[in-house]
Amino acid sequence: MTAPQRPTDCLDLLNTGIWFQNLPELLKNSLLQMSAIRPLASGEHLFERGDHPDGIYAVIQGALRVSGVREDGKEAILTFVEPPNWFGEIALFDGQLRTHTAIAEGPVTVLHAPQKKLHRLLEQKPEHWRDFGLLLCNKLRFAFLALEDTALFSASERLVRRLLMMSEGYGEWTGKSRRVISLHQEQLGMMLGISRQTTNQILKNLESQGIIARSYGEIEILDPGRLRALTGGELKIR
């Protein structure tokens, strides 16, 4: 896929996301006009925990791994951010330091809307704070679901629910889902706080039932209906 040259080249992709799709047209145009395209090499840090806020981002190509990393290097993976998701809005609201680290998982292209330009826009059009609040609320909704999963569900149930969430873009995509998730099983276990051995056993069991297939760095969902049935059929983010 050819990398976009201008922010306006990203419009069709961004409109496949529920948040951006529902923005007022003037706000969409303002975001594109103030933004710049930024490529990242594999393993490059977009920002790190403790960095000063510099605006919000949309992933245009590739995926970013959002993690918490201790001083001793131990990593906890929170999520993977993929097109056309926007992120980084927490620091837009409170102006505090970055809460987590975002790392390119392979080559990545992001769209960057700078903090100062966003604040200038919001000073002129304060009614748009609500639009950015909705972006933040979707992340909060997912965070509550993840906490609930940890408290109420077994490791196997949590893994199935997370695979389904990822296949549907965490509720952000419109009119699509995907069958192949680019993810190492060790990373999946880290996201859920499950050991590598337990993760492997759960995936092996799903594979033996013909629900998924595994290959290096990928998990393919062969039967989305049966996968959803394992969640009780009621999992929804929005």
Set out the domains of the chain in order of their start, with CATH numbers. 7-141 (2.60.120.10), 153-229 (1.10.10.10)
The CA-atom distances, in angstroms, between 126 and each of 20, 35, 70, 87 are 18, 19, 37, 20
**% pLDDT > 70, the chain:** 95
User: CA 139 from chain center: how many Å?
Assistant: 9
CB atoms within 10 A of CB 225: 9
What's the pLDDT score for residue 237?
46
What's the pLDDT score for residue 142?
86
Reading across the β-sheet that carries 86-87, which strands appear in turn? 36-40, 108-114, 55-61, 86-87
**Is 153 exposed, middle or buried, given 0-12, 13-18 or 19+ CB atoms closer than 10 A?**
middle
Band of residue 219 on the pLDDT scale cut at 50, 70, 90: very high
The one-character DSSP state at 96 is -
Across the range 214-218, mean pLDDT stands at: 92
Band of residue 178 on the pLDDT scale cut at 50, 70, 90: confident
What's the pLDDT score for residue 209?
94
Report the C-alpha gap between 147 and 139 in whole angstroms. 12
Report the C-alpha gap between 48 and 66 in whole angstroms. 9
* Least confident range of 12-16, 46-50, 134-138, 139-143: 139-143
Report the C-alpha gap between 175 and 46 in whole angstroms. 29
Mean pLDDT of the chain: 91
- Of 143 and 24, which is predicted with more confidence? 24
Would you say residue 35 has pLDDT above 60?
yes
Q: How far apart, in Å, do the first and last CA atoms of the chain sit?
A: 30
CB atoms within 10 A of CB 220: 13
Verdict on whether the full-model pTM lies above 0.75: yes
Backbone dihedral angles phi then psi of residue 113, each to the nearest 5 degrees? -105, 110
Residues whose CB is less than 8 angstroms from the CB of residue 184 and which lie 6 or more positions away in sequence, other chains included:
217
Would you say residue 238 has pLDDT above 50?
no
What's the pLDDT score for residue 53?
94
What's the pLDDT score for residue 172?
76
**Is 148 exposed, middle or buried, given 0-12, 13-18 or 19+ CB atoms closer than 10 A?**
exposed
What's the pLDDT score for residue 174?
66
Report the C-alpha gap between 133 and 88 in whole angstroms. 12
Band of residue 127 on the pLDDT scale cut at 50, 70, 90: very high
Backbone dihedral angles phi then psi of residue 88, each to the nearest 5 degrees? 95, 10
Among 113, 146, 140, CA closest to 128: 113
Residues whose CB is less than 8 angstroms from the CB of residue 75 and which lie 6 or more positions away in sequence, other chains included:
67, 68, 69, 190
